[in-house]
Structure 1
Amino acid sequence: MTAIHQGAAGPGHQSSPPSRAGAFIKFADLDNLQVVVIHTGEQASRDAGIRATLQRAHNEAVATDNPIDPEVEPEQALYVGPTQLDDGARLYKMADRDATKRVIVHQFGNLAPEKAKRLIVALRKQAPKAELYRGNPGHNAEPWQLVDVVAFEQTLAADTTPGEAPWPDNVAPLHLVKSSPEEGPELPAGFEVRGSRLCALMTVGRGEDARQEWVPIASPVHVLAETADEQGRGYGRLLEWRDSAGRVRQWAMPVRSLVPRNGEEVFAALLDAGLPFIELSHKRRLAAYLMSCQPKRRITCVERTGWHGHAYVLPGGSIGPDAEGVILQTAGYTASDFTERGTLAGWQQGVAGLAVGNSRLCFALSLAFAAPLLSLVGMEGGGFHLKGESTDGKTTVMKVAASVYGHPDRYAQTWRATGNAIEGIASRRNDALLCLDELGELDGREAGQTAYMLANGQGKGRSKQDGELRERKAWRLLFLSTGELSLEDHAASAGKSTQAGMEVRTIQIPSDTGHHGAFEWLHGMDGGRSFADALKINSEAHHGVAFRTYAQALTQTMDEQRERLRAEIKQLAAELTPKGAGNQVGRAINRFALVAAAGELATRLGVTGWPEGEAIRAVRVCLKAWLAERGHLGNQEDAATLMQVRGFVFAHQFTRFADWFDSSHRPANMVGFRKVESDGVSFFVLPQGWLEITKGRDPKRAAILCLEAGYLLTGKDKKRLQRQVRLPGMGKGMRVYVLGERVLGDEGDGLEDE
């Protein structure tokens, strides 16, 4: 960007500039001053044509030492759009910056404070001796007070006095809250910022030597806003400070944290987050300062990430139209796992592009995009577990999914944690994907319970010291797990069993594709290891930007996307559900359909760069792999019941069943009779024996399942599960369960070949 209008120096202007305090400039007087006027804001970019024309004319005039006549619309000097003040952008050099005495900024439309600060920093670099003003045509321009605020912030970074504040090349990071920076932070009585220290007015000395002095208590900590949740609870303060490296840090601190142990956790959190100095002997003064600050700004706080209205709340800020009004509040300062690096185009080419033709990769990325949709479409949480041999690429698949949200190594977690720690991690992944590597690192005794907790979205109930129940941590998320064992096998190795509905909540997909481990297509690379290394390098270079692009697009069209997604999920679930599927399979397929719909939505929104239908194809492949490993379409409890009946009969057909024709073969613990005839073998199970065979199950339900599977033979009355039979050695007839030969050698509820 180049300043394209500069007035000629008028006579009598060799003296020093006027004092900032109370100094005003009239636009009508611009012809007598060397002034650059900048128009900036939302509407400025539409005048780009005028800007280019005047820029060219001005540069030519300066080159011939013949500046443009200042009377020709001097206020149309430079137009700067908000995007030209994004983080990292730079102004072009002014044509004659050394001669510039004044710079007036005309804010034409909205301009965020952080962008205004960047403009000030850039102008200070180019014209360090110029006075900076702000005003509108037809009115007096007055000194821009935001300049002093920026100078103060730069002073804190350099740890010098205000008069010696440098103007470094790096622009201050974005502020989460758009407070009133021009007015400066309001400090309560008895506290002042002096140089690089926050000071308190304290009485020093005793008796006749007692006097009031300003005593340093900490590096400057500013209270930008007061926070509270929508129910008027959870009050806090939004704090801001600079760490020793000059980076802006912010933390929404619950005021209740100042109570336990005299606020020790608060001070520890501040120091851990880089606050350069706290005078430990005056911690109570610092606590009093934080408590007594009463900022005018009010912000809604939430205790977990995810959706809040039309804003998606993150640890480092929020995304969407409602982003300014909500912030994440945590008990301690927490660095954001949702980091951003690289470009969307780089991620599409180096990460998402390599997922094309690779079902597990494409599925995992679609799963990452599905997690934020749970609350939109009203679905419950759950997870998928990639099971396979070590070094087959399943961890790479998981980290590729993590790259949607942040750095793959920092965003992804491991199962090696206690249940309490995993609760904390889950609450930081609300409405997002939770990645957990190596299930084997979790204690097998906790495996089933922990996975069930994650899927149900609620932590353990705990009591306070007075016996009252604490508020449970809650979340709604999808998780992606990896391991060499299945969840059921890992729990069984510790002598525990998983609950019957666990397989619906944690769906197990074999990671091996039958080609190159977890990959089918290597995109021209010479091996699976090279392919995995390329994914790792690319995801570290480009991550986090995909989620922000996705979330930003969702916040703009949430209402219309909600209804469309529900219809798509219903249609996809109907297409994916095989004939004869039980209720549990149907519920699991609903989640597969959600993943497919999410992947296609991300493609429509321009995030993935995939061809249409790629996500659906990947979901079909993974669904087929799950069903093949599961081995049946019925409910897991029903399949286990049939397996129990078949297993007992097969294992004990000669030891627990008496021979129908051999009266000498009568086991003491017999459960029935075994009858061998020319057309096959039959088992006549006594009522007491049936109770033993179906121990732990509903005996009537077990009989019905055996009938449906073709194991149980009925008499003339098809409605009766038992038959009236005269047994050998028993005078009168008895009602028994009759099992046919099929119970020995048929799966009963197997999958149909496709």
Structure 2
Amino acid sequence: MFDNKDDIEDVQIEEIICPADIEHISQYVSQDVALIMEDACLFSYTDIDNMPYDTQRIPPQGYDLADAQKEGWTPQLIKALIGSLPDENKLFSGVLCSQLKPIKTEAGQYILKPAGVFCEDKKICAFLNPIASCRTLNGDQWTLLVQFIDKDFKKREIFIPNKLLPKDGSALSELLIDSGLWINVDPKAGRQNLKYYLNQTPKERMVLVNKIGWHGQNYVFPDKAWGKPEREKHKLYIQGTMPLYEEIGTIDQWTQEIGKYLQGNSRLIFGVSMGLASSLLTPLGRQNFGVHYIGYSSIGKSTILYVVASIFGAEVKSWRTTDNCAEAWAREANDNIFFLDELGKAPNASVVSEMLYMLGDGQGKGRANRFGDARDVTKFKTYPQSTGEMSFEDKMRQGFGKRNFFAGQSVRLAQIQADAGQGMGIYENLHGFKNGALLSDHLVKSSLKYRGTLGDAWLSYCCQNYNDVLKKAECYAQIWMDKYPLENGTDGQVIRVKGHFAHIAAIGEMAIEQKLLPLKSGDVYEAVAILFNDWLNQRGGVESHEDMEVVQKLISFIEEHGSSRFENPWNAGEDEQTGRERPNNEKVFDRAGFRKFVDEQYTYYFLSTVFTRDILDGAKGASQKARLKKLADSGYIQTTTEKKEGKDMNRYSKTERIPSHGVKKVYVVRMPAE
């Protein structure tokens, strides 16, 4: 690796990656290494068996890295230690311990060394460095951010709430021990001293935020932030487990192993574009929106989620959860993508119903604190993507807690067939793989190996070109809207969903323009149009959800109950003694109305109470009139016209004399010719 002395003149220890390099470099730097180790009293980890150096040991003359290798030092141990010490990266940066000033407290003087924290020559814990004082924008929840080296020699960070400091130190020490820090368990030498050592105020200040996403023009992740911080850095602080967003590999690897397989596959292009679009929800003032991919098992539905999850290195969650847990997950996915795999695993219909409204509204439940005062309601912006072998309508009708599927829910998560219709599951192009299963297997494995790099590049671009990105997004969205116009009279629900699809199309095209997606200009526009048309077909047209639903309910009710719940009291023949029509006294249980065979087809006379309850879902007023009008306009209900205040008014119900039942108020229904 190093061919001459010039190559290693300014080398940092992080660059040494194998024993051969250590041995090769030692011939040039032996004297320098010995001096630095002597000055720093380096590697004094007497309490850790893996460290081969003694606390007080002074290296002999001529000691170099080759000698260190013989004594047990490996490149991994050296890199771990150097990476765990303060920010400067000189060769053997432990020498910088002389720059850490002693801290005087009422309990004595504390000194931070590479070996740990000492008080009056007593070691109280391993390396533990307070680096910033943090608090929320409201000026409360003061917290200390500390950096330490755990027992695996890894550099870690943890938040320590200041409220733990006034206590006896046990809760504080338990928190740090649980995180992997070595602590002297002697109360006098260890945990009692920790609270004095940590009761300091570092110069650096940070603002705590409780969710990822945009804060000003900065985008914050658990361990990373993009943009130009204002006066103070933003730092994510969530009590409990931090959300997982991994960054593994390079963007070139992501492109080679995942990105190139997007070409020609509309579901993958749409999913990835939607994932990128999720990051701009707050700056563009957009509302929450999601999609639900429906399809049989083993056609690749979950593969879409894993590919999209690789953008930011996120986790794929399951529908097998509670609405409270899903609320926490959604907050952790703020200004980002959120995944729910396999709807069939959801506990029951009531949980699904609550989650649909929560995810669509971007707002959690209202709750009270221990004093009975209202706590801040959780709010978030996210683009959920879901999969399932069943639709939401099917799930709502299933088992305990049955619910209706309403229009508001239908435009919150658009339902799309996962099958692309080419006999290859979700794919239209297998890119040389023998079948879709093999391609899915490759994509899922690759999505776990190469993650987070596309999202990193995308967020870097957005933060560096913040205002231009917002302008372009609006412009490109309008281009897609104009390119694929809707017919006149399209319901507002459809127009609303099309606006979301336009946003997704715009962001995907912008990613192509920045060479972040290996696609041609216009590919995303076309893929999003395919998915939008598939959604319209799945939905049944451009009319309102309520209009289409009431027609479907009427048809389904007659098909299911036409012969069992409708009595036919007509056409039973004449009575031989009286000569009058004899009623047909057939027995019908749970009667919904009557039916009469006329012109080779049955006419159904629904009892008004049954029709209002089972077909109109109990709707009243304007909502009821709108549904009745839809049925009449579609040719299902027979209407009459009457004059009222000089105007012709349609009446949807009639009064009919029913043999052996008298006069009844009914809705007369006749199925129109197909």
Say if 1:738 and 1:436 are closer, same or farther in 2 by CA, change over 3 A: closer
* 3-state SS in 2 of match to 1:250: strand
Q: Partner amino acid for 1:277? A: I
Q: Structure 2 unaligned runs (5+)?
A: 60-67, 90-95, 573-580
Distance (whole Å) between structure 2 residues aligned to residue 176 and residue 368 of structure 1: 36
Query: What is the aligned partner in structure 1 of residue 629 from structure 2?
Result: 704
Question: Which one-letter code corresponds to 1:694 in the other structure?
Answer: L
Which digits, 9 at most, give the CA deviation of each residue in 1:573-614, with x for residues without a partner?
A: 454464243222222222222222221122122211211122
Paired letter, 2:649: R
Other structure's SS at 1:327 match: strand
Paired-residue identity, %: 25
Please name the residue that 2:179 is paired with.
Answer: 273
SS of 1:277's equivalent? coil
Q: Cα distance, 1:666 vs. partner?
A: 8.5
2:103 aligned residue: 187
Conserved in 1, the CA contact under 8 Å of 2:128 and 2:148?
yes
Residue 618 of structure 1 deviates from its aligned partner by 1.9
How far the C-alpha of 1:348 sits from its partner, in A, is 1.0
CA distance in 1, matches of 2:311, 2:630: 45
Question: In the alignment, which of 609, 612, 619 is matched to residue 691 of structure 1?
Answer: 612
Contact 1:712 1:738 in 2 (8 A): yes
Aligned in 2, Cα 1:405/1:727: closer, same or farther, shift over 3 Å? closer
Which structure 2 residues correspond to residues 4-83 of structure 1 after superposition, within 5 A?
none
Give CA-to-partner distance per residue, 1:409-429, whole Å, 9 cap, x none. Answer: xx2232333333333322222
Once the two structures are superposed, residues 230-287 of structure 1 have per-residue CA deviations (whole angstroms, 9 ceiling, x without a partner) of 222232111100122322111244434668x967665444334332335273434323
Q: Provide the C-alpha distance between the structure 2 equivalents of 1:251 and 1:509, rounded to a whole number of angstroms.
A: 43
**Counterpart in 1 of 2:116?**
197
Cα distance change on mapping 1:688 and 1:563 into 2, 3 Å: same
Match of 2:238 among 306, 323, 330: 330
Whether the 8 Å contact between 1:149 and 1:181 is mirrored in structure 2 is: no
Counterparts of 1:617 and 1:86 in 2: how far apart (Å)?
Answer: 51
Q: 1:225: how far off? A: 0.9
Q: Using the TM superposition, give the Cα deviation of residue 521 of structure 1 relative to its aligned residue in structure 2, in angstroms.
A: 1.1
Q: How does 1:492-511 map to 2 (within 5 A)?
A: 492-495=397-400, 496-500=402-406, 501-511=408-418
After the TM superposition, which residues 527-606 of structure 1 pair with which residues of structure 2 at under 5 Å, given as runs? 527-573=435-481, 575-576=483-484, 578-579=486-487, 580-606=489-515
The reply on whether 1:303 has 2:210 as its aligned counterpart is yes
**Deviation of the 1:403 alpha carbon:** 0.9
Structure 1 CA distance, aligned partners of 2:87 and 2:25? 33
Q: Alpha-carbon deviation of 1:302?
A: 0.8
**Alpha-carbon displacement from aligned partner over 1:196-251 (angstroms, at most 9, x marks no partner):** 23234xxxxxxxxxxxx554332232111111222222321111001223221112
**More moved, 675-684 vs 463-472:** 675-684
Comparing 222-231 and 456-465, the one that deviates more: 456-465
User: What amino acid maps onto 1:462 in structure 2?
Assistant: R
1:667-746 correspondence runs (5 A)? 678=599, 690-692=611-613, 693-698=615-620, 699-715=624-640, 719-722=648-651, 727-728=656-657, 738-742=668-672
* Cα distance between partner residues in 1 of 2:331 and 2:353: 19
- Do 1:385 and 1:509's aligned partners in 2 also have CA atoms closer than 8 Å? yes
1:617 corresponds to which residue?
A: 526
Q: Where does residue 430 of structure 1 map in the other structure?
A: 334
Q: In the aligned structure 2, how far is the partner of 1:724 from the partner of 1:511?
A: 42
| Letter in structure 1 aligned against 2:130 | V
- 2:432 match: secondary structure: coil
CA separation in 1, counterparts of 2:328 and 2:652? 57
689-698 or 233-242, which moves further after superposition?
689-698
Q: Whole-Å Cα distance in 2 between the matches of residues 442 and 404 of structure 1?
A: 26
Superposition deviation, residue 555 in structure 1: 0.1
The one-letter code of the counterpart of 1:275 is: L
Aligned to 2:103, the other structure's residue is in SS state coil
Any conservation in 2 of the 1:641–1:697 contact (CA below 8 Å)? no
Separation in 1, partners of 2:127, 2:534? 58
**TM-score after normalising by structure 2:** 0.78
Conserved in 1, the CA contact under 8 Å of 2:116 and 2:128? Answer: no
Cα deviations across residues 666-712 of structure 1 (Å, max 9, x unaligned)? 89987777566559765566755653553422332321222333334
The corresponding residue for 2:316 is 412
Q: Compared with structure 1, are the counterparts of its residues 461 and 545 closer, same or farther at alpha carbon in structure 2 (3 Å cutoff)?
A: same
1:128 aligned residue: 33
Q: 1:478 Cα shift?
A: 1.2
- The residue that corresponds to 1:16 in the other structure is none
Change (3 A) 1:498 1:293: farther
Query: Compared with structure 1, are the counterparts of its residues 382 and 150 closer, same or farther at alpha carbon in structure 2 (3 Å cutoff)?
Result: farther
Q: Answer yes or no: is the 8 Å Cα contact 2:369–2:375 preserved in 1.
A: yes
Distance, in Å, in 1 between the alignment partners of 2:169 and 2:639 is 75
- How far off its partner does 1:722 sit? 0.7
Equivalent pair of 1:577/1:586 in contact (CA under 8 Å): no
- CA distance in structure 1 between the partners assigned to 2:498 and 2:55 by the alignment: 65
SS in 1 for 2:649: coil
Q: CA deviation at 1:349?
A: 1.7
The reply to whether residue 321 of structure 1 matches residue 250 of structure 2 is no
Query: Per-residue deviation at 1:728?
Result: 4.5
Which residue in 1 is equivalent to 2:575? none
Tell me how many residue pairs correspond in the alignment.
Answer: 614
Aligned partners of 1:385 and 1:480 also within 8 Å: yes
The code of the aligned residue for 1:477 comes to: T
* Residue 468 of structure 1 pairs with residue 383 of structure 2: no
Report the alpha carbon displacement of residue 305 of structure 1 after superposing the two structures with TM.
1.1
Contact 1:98–1:127 (CA<8 Å) still a contact in 2? no
Output the CA distance in 1 between the equivalents of 2:419 and 2:648. 46
Q: Distance in 1 between matches of 2:212 and 2:567?
A: 61
Q: Within 5 Å, give how 1:104-143 maps onto structure 2.
A: 127-128=32-33
Kept in 1, the 8 Å contact 2:42–2:114? The answer is no
Q: Which residue of 1 aligns with 2:64?
A: none
- Partner AA of 2:202 in structure 1: P
In the other structure, the counterpart of 1:135 is none
Aligned: 1:242 with 2:167: no
Deviations 1:283-309 (A, max 9, x none): 34323433x111111111211111112
Compared CA separation, residues 634 and 325, structure 1 to 2 (3 A): same
CA contact (8 A) 2:220 2:236 kept: yes
Cα contact 2:114–2:127 (8 A) shared by 1: no
What SS is found at the alignment partner of 2:292? strand
Equivalent in the alignment of 1:12 = none
CA contact (8 A) 1:254 1:330 kept: no
Distance in 1 between residues matched to 2:42 and 2:600, nearest whole Å:
96
CA distance in 1 between counterparts of 2:142 and 2:226 reads: 22
Do the aligned partners of 1:370 and 1:599 also contact (CA within 8 Å) in 2?
A: yes
Match runs of 1:64-103 below 5 Å: none
Equivalent residue letter for 2:636: Y
1:675/1:681 contact within 8 Å kept: yes
Point out where structure 1 has 5 or more consecutive residues left out of the alignment: 7-54, 60-76, 101-123, 133-146, 201-212, 747-754
Deviations 1:508-555 (A, max 9, x none): 222222321222211011222221222233333322111100000000
Tell me if the contact between 2:135 and 2:142 (Cα under 8 Å) persists in the aligned partners. yes
Deviates most, 311-320 or 438-447? 438-447
- From 455, 465, 477, the equivalent of 2:382 is 477
Cα 1:316/1:670, change in 2 over 3 Å: closer
Bigger mean CA offset, 319-328 vs 151-160: 151-160
CA distance in 2, matches of 1:416, 1:429: 18
Q: What amino acid is aligned across from residue 721 of structure 1 in structure 2?
A: N
Determine if contact 2:312/2:451 at 8 Å carries over to the other structure.
yes
